[in-house]
Chain A
């Protein structure tokens, strides 16, 4: 394909060509960044929790009677809940579950020396101590949540305490590695400032109730501590199909056992609803970003089609002349497609530069990471494809111009 005639034509339509180039460049820059933001959010909302998400449901219960023994109440409630058809197992936790925003965290050190170091530094940073999320719960927590024990053992009945701090703990693999890098964590004694707590088990992963930063999101530990308060969250494990019915029957069962309690209907929900609520803002943003990326591409395509149509009409006579002196339909088609390829190509080159400038701006204000390089060829391909598609209609119409047009006067 001869490029010279195309270039010389474009030189005579500088204004329109520049507009198209700028539009393609802006679209390229914005769409690259928007797609990158979508990818980031998708990654954020697909973080694994380590628990059997599709099989869990929760019922919150707050007793309002003074002076009753909360642990006896929980035991009676749990026995009733286990009797509901379809419940495979049930436990009570104080309030924490992964991604439910109710976090209790505690400073914990691999040794007493590390704690002294932290005191000296006046910060936990760099001392070796960590701030894991702490989970409590009645016996059977590991099994009910579906946590995957990779080393050591589950708690034994004698490990459990109802007041004060327990002597043993199960930690997540991430916490084990952060506290004892390169060492065997199982059997080590962690120090929390007053007591030593021995690691008896390690679970594969267990996400925090509140995400902080990817490095520490899986730092959590389980204490064999019975929920001390009268307000608890009952966690039920069932087949996914049984969840709705079990939530209803379980709540009714609890109220039958003791009507003098608060069960918040809004918080009686499946675990998947808890997770969806945590990421609600992100899913909304993904929808918005997706809609705007598609909208931008659509508008740009419309612009290309509109201008190409105009050019075809404007050049009908010259197309006719070219056809009359021997150009094939394919030649005309290719002419318009090459022209579009060149314009969009210049736009993409400019757009890549703009994409990085925009990315730098976003990095400053919205904690976005640096745009990976592979987005650029992908963005280029998408825009080139879009341009070719948008110009196809007008180009076909141009190719259909009969040579006889050359002989007409207008």
Chain B
């Protein structure tokens, strides 16, 4: 019976090509717009560390003077608090991090010097975030303790400086120091770059910078601070900074601490630990407040409104567009079915039940949806290609994954079936006698 309906649907669709084309076009455009924006939103609101993010936390305490930070602790830590919390080693893994920009030269090459972003961090960084390595490995705790001049570089930088060859053991000139490469990362593109996400609530929705690439140079925290001294970025300061870029004793927050806590008991313990720390520091007179915060990774992303508001707006707009397209299709399908009233009347008179007529009409609507889905898929590919050409940080991420590909067709067919429901119901109510009389 289904194949018979398919045959009927095809005949009916062929009979009025113009109307059919209009419906297919409407569905295709609506689906194309919705799926493009939905893919981008899906991409930007995903989990950057799938399967591990629930164990990753971002503890914060507040060393700023009374009244400086009214809505909870500042987004980063001052040097002393960060180093205190880190060196207590109360978490399963913990990494300090501070950002800067560093001048890089490869002494063996004739390439001009580059300015690249550098992260000074501690050795747990790589294991905690499961950073993949192309060549070599992370530095060891012993390297860090002896303040060895070693570095891990990104695959991008390795391509630029060494043409992608194994550069482990080679020397880089970072600012004025020679540093030995111990590891080269594989392509690693967490989206968003969660460990650098901060201050999103002040960004007024302009958060696409959270989707940038990881830094190009990673150095052990303390030797990194030595090598690139004078270039470190502050998050905010509540007093004047005697030597900009050298923040160890400045009244500034600028260091991030990420910890891994493997079970609920450890999470509770760590919360108590930072609360105690804040209490103790207040008694010592160093803290003015005991406010603390320890969001989990995903919680922190939500807190920072990582999905740019323009992207959300685009998604709403696309779905409004799809809604209008559907209204349009309801009207056109209604016209199409009712125009065939006499044909339906004959079928009913010959014994087709209401259900059969209803099913036949829905098959026709579904077929429009399927063809519209193919058009919508092509338009989605076009839309994502356009997104990739935009100068935004997440441009290179915009690709259709299999799940979204399936969703494109599911959405197209579901939408057209939904649109076909009312016209099909109306068509199945046609009274056979009345139609036969006018034949």
Question: Which residues of A come within 8 Å of B, CB atoms?
Answer: 15-16, 19-20, 22-23, 26-27, 30, 34, 62, 64, 66, 122, 262, 264, 277, 280-281, 284-285, 288-289, 292, 295-296, 299-300, 302-303, 306-307, 309-310, 313-314, 365-367, 410
CB of A122 within 8 A of CB of B339, answer no
What residues of chain A lie closer than 8 Å to B392, measured between beta carbons?
Answer: 281
Asked whether any CB of chain A lies closer than 8 Å to the CB of B403, the reply is: no
Which residues in chain B, 112-169, are within 8 Å of chain A measured between CB atoms? 112-113, 115
CB of B328 within 8 A of CB of A23, answer yes
CB of A307 within 8 A of CB of B33, answer no
What residues of chain A lie closer than 8 Å to B26, measured between beta carbons?
Answer: 299, 302
The docked-state distance in angstroms from the alpha carbon of A30 to that of B33 is: 16
Number of A-B contacts (CB under 8 A): 99
CB of A19 within 8 A of CB of B334, answer yes
The docked-state distance in angstroms from the alpha carbon of A306 to that of B208 is: 42
- Kindly report which residue of chain B lies nearest to residue A367, judged by CB atoms: B204
The docked-state distance in angstroms from the alpha carbon of A295 to that of B328 is: 13
Query: With contacts A19-B331, A23-B328, A288-B314 known, is A30 near B320, CB below 8 A?
Result: yes
CB of A296 within 8 A of CB of B321, answer yes
Asked whether any CB of chain A lies closer than 8 Å to the CB of B205, the reply is: yes
What residues of chain A lie closer than 8 Å to B320, measured between beta carbons?
Answer: 26, 30, 296
What residues of chain B lie closer than 8 Å to A66, measured between beta carbons?
Answer: 176
Give the contacting residue for B390; candidates A284, A296, A303, A366; CB below 8 A: A284
A interface footprint on B72-111 (CB within 8 Å = 1, 0 otherwise):
0000000000000000000000000000000100000000
The docked-state distance in angstroms from the alpha carbon of A64 to that of B310 is: 40
Query: With contacts A292-B33, A314-B339 known, is A303 near B321, CB below 8 A?
Result: no
Interface of A is mostly: helix
CB of B339 within 8 A of CB of A310, answer yes
The docked-state distance in angstroms from the alpha carbon of A295 to that of B29 is: 9
What residues of chain B lie closer than 8 Å to A296, measured between beta carbons?
Answer: 320-321, 324
Min C-beta distance of B207 to chain A, whole Å = 11
CB of A299 within 8 A of CB of B67, answer no
What residues of chain A lie closer than 8 Å to B19, measured between beta carbons?
Answer: 306
Q: Which 5 A-B pairs have the closest CB atoms?
A: A310-B335, A303-B328, A23-B327, A122-B67, A19-B331
CB of A303 within 8 A of CB of B33, answer no
CB of B335 within 8 A of CB of A16, answer yes
24 contacts between A and B (CB under 8 A): A15-B422, A16-B334, A22-B327, A26-B320, A66-B176, A262-B112, A262-B113, A281-B206, A285-B313, A292-B318, A295-B29, A300-B328, A302-B22, A303-B327, A303-B328, A303-B331, A306-B331, A306-B335, A307-B332, A310-B338, A313-B339, A365-B312, A366-B205, A366-B313
- Kindly report which residue of chain B lies nearest to residue A291, judged by CB atoms: B33
CB of A307 within 8 A of CB of B324, answer no
CB of B332 within 8 A of CB of A306, answer yes
Question: Which residues of B come within 8 Å of A, CB atoms?
Answer: 19, 22, 26, 29, 33, 67, 103, 112-113, 115, 176, 204-206, 208, 309-310, 312-314, 317-318, 320-321, 323-325, 327-328, 330-332, 334-336, 338-339, 390-392, 422, 426, 438
CB of B321 within 8 A of CB of A292, answer yes
The docked-state distance in angstroms from the alpha carbon of A22 to that of B329 is: 13
Give the contacting residue for B323; candidates A26, A62, A264; CB below 8 A: A26
- Kindly report which residue of chain A lies nearest to residue B313, judged by CB atoms: A366
Give the contacting residue for B317; candidates A264, A288, A299, A313; CB below 8 A: A288
The docked-state distance in angstroms from the alpha carbon of A131 to that of B324 is: 47
The docked-state distance in angstroms from the alpha carbon of A122 to that of B70 is: 11
Interface of B is mostly: helix
The docked-state distance in angstroms from the alpha carbon of A15 to that of B331 is: 9
Give the contacting residue for A64; candidates B113, B312, B334; CB below 8 A: B113
CB of A262 within 8 A of CB of B115, answer yes
Inter-chain pairs besides A280-B391, A300-B328, 18 sampled, C-beta below 8 Å? A16-B335, A23-B327, A23-B328, A26-B323, A34-B317, A64-B103, A262-B103, A262-B113, A277-B391, A295-B29, A299-B325, A299-B328, A307-B332, A309-B335, A310-B336, A310-B338, A366-B205, A367-B205
What residues of chain B lie closer than 8 Å to A262, measured between beta carbons?
Answer: 103, 112-113, 115
The docked-state distance in angstroms from the alpha carbon of A351 to that of B392 is: 35
Give the contacting residue for B426; candidates A15, A20, A295, A300; CB below 8 A: A15
What residues of chain B lie closer than 8 Å to A284, measured between beta carbons?
Answer: 390
The docked-state distance in angstroms from the alpha carbon of A62 to that of B338 is: 74
Min C-beta distance of A213 to chain B, whole Å = 10
Give the contacting residue for A302; candidates B176, B208, B328; CB below 8 A: B328
The docked-state distance in angstroms from the alpha carbon of A27 to that of B312 is: 20
The docked-state distance in angstroms from the alpha carbon of A16 to that of B331 is: 6
The docked-state distance in angstroms from the alpha carbon of A64 to that of B321 is: 54
CB of B115 within 8 A of CB of A295, answer no
What residues of chain B lie closer than 8 Å to A299, measured between beta carbons?
Answer: 26, 29, 321, 324-325, 328
The docked-state distance in angstroms from the alpha carbon of A23 to that of B327 is: 6
Q: Which of B318, B330, B335 has the most CB of A within 10 A?
A: B335
Min C-beta distance of A403 to chain B, whole Å = 20
The docked-state distance in angstroms from the alpha carbon of A303 to that of B19 is: 10
The docked-state distance in angstroms from the alpha carbon of A277 to that of B392 is: 11
- Kindly report which residue of chain B lies nearest to residue A30, judged by CB atoms: B320
CB of B310 within 8 A of CB of A281, answer yes
The docked-state distance in angstroms from the alpha carbon of A27 to that of B331 is: 15
What residues of chain A lie closer than 8 Å to B310, measured between beta carbons?
Answer: 281, 285
Min C-beta distance of A383 to chain B, whole Å = 13
CB of B29 within 8 A of CB of A303, answer no
Give the contacting residue for A292; candidates B317, B334, B426; CB below 8 A: B317
